[in-house]
A and B are shown apart, each in its own frame.
Chain A
């Protein structure tokens, strides 16, 4: 026979347990090596492409389209991962042609044909920072995955 005080403690703990485990909004996708490597690769290629914007857009159109295809692949990959809304939102923002990061830069390049040195240099800083945030976020998921293994 379990004493009353212990029964009460167990009940309290179980209620807390149920409340916490049902709190789906706290779940975050675990670290993904593919996402991390792809984000770094896309960052390097993006900055490389942006450096060419003093040349006519049409000269690099194929290169840009191939890049955007790779970008879209990662976006779809992130979209279909569970509890991964922040990484996906970040990628959406970086690639959106209506915003003013990478997608917006490509759109502007296409419209203006060529871009001035200052307007290549400064947006490159912005795009680099945006990718760094995405990459840092992915690597922070790493700690969660590692701590899960260590605490098992």
Chain B
């Protein structure tokens, strides 16, 4: 079983998703996604061992790997959503700064 091949495919699919649907959050999403892929390795090893021991069949194994792919998508959705919230905070801070600056310049000028 070639772990690297599976991981590379997952990574490529996710990058395609980020590029297609969430282009504006690409940079941050990619970084967190790579960290998450690293966490998947342990599960993949456990499932491969179960396959080798015949605790599961190939159909079960495939189901599990696909579930991990879906979980990775969940994670990308989470990370991009969080980036959006953070950008929203930034936006609110900018709006406040603008209002304060204008009020200081116009209302409190000597």
Contacts and interface: CB of A to CB of B under 8 A. Distances in A.
Interface stretch (A2-10, A36-44, A60-68): A2-10
Interface residues of A, number: 46
Nearest to A89: B77
A26 B105 contact: no
B47 A122 contact: yes
A58 interface: no
A9 B94 contact: no
B71 A26 contact: no
B13 interface: no
A20 B95 CA distance: 8
B101 A9 contact: yes
Given A119-B60, A140-B85, A90 B74 contact: yes
A86 B81 CA distance: 6
Contacts of A93: 70, 73-74, 77
Given A86-B78, A116-B56, A20 B91 contact: yes
Interface of A: 2, 6, 9-10, 13-14, 16-17, 20-21, 23, 25-28, 86-87, 89-90, 93-94, 99-101, 104, 108, 116, 118-119, 122-123, 125-126, 129-130, 133-134, 136-137, 140-141, 143-144, 147-148, 151
Contacts of B105: 6, 9-10
B80 A118 contact: no
B45 to A, nearest CB: 13
20 contacts: A2-B106, A17-B95, A20-B95, A28-B81, A28-B85, A86-B77, A94-B74, A99-B70, A100-B64, A104-B63, A108-B63, A122-B64, A123-B63, A126-B64, A126-B67, A129-B71, A130-B70, A133-B74, A133-B78, A136-B78
Contacts of A151: 92, 96
Most buried by A among B81, B87, B96: B81
B74 A13 contact: no
Interface in B3-55: 24, 43, 46-47, 50, 55
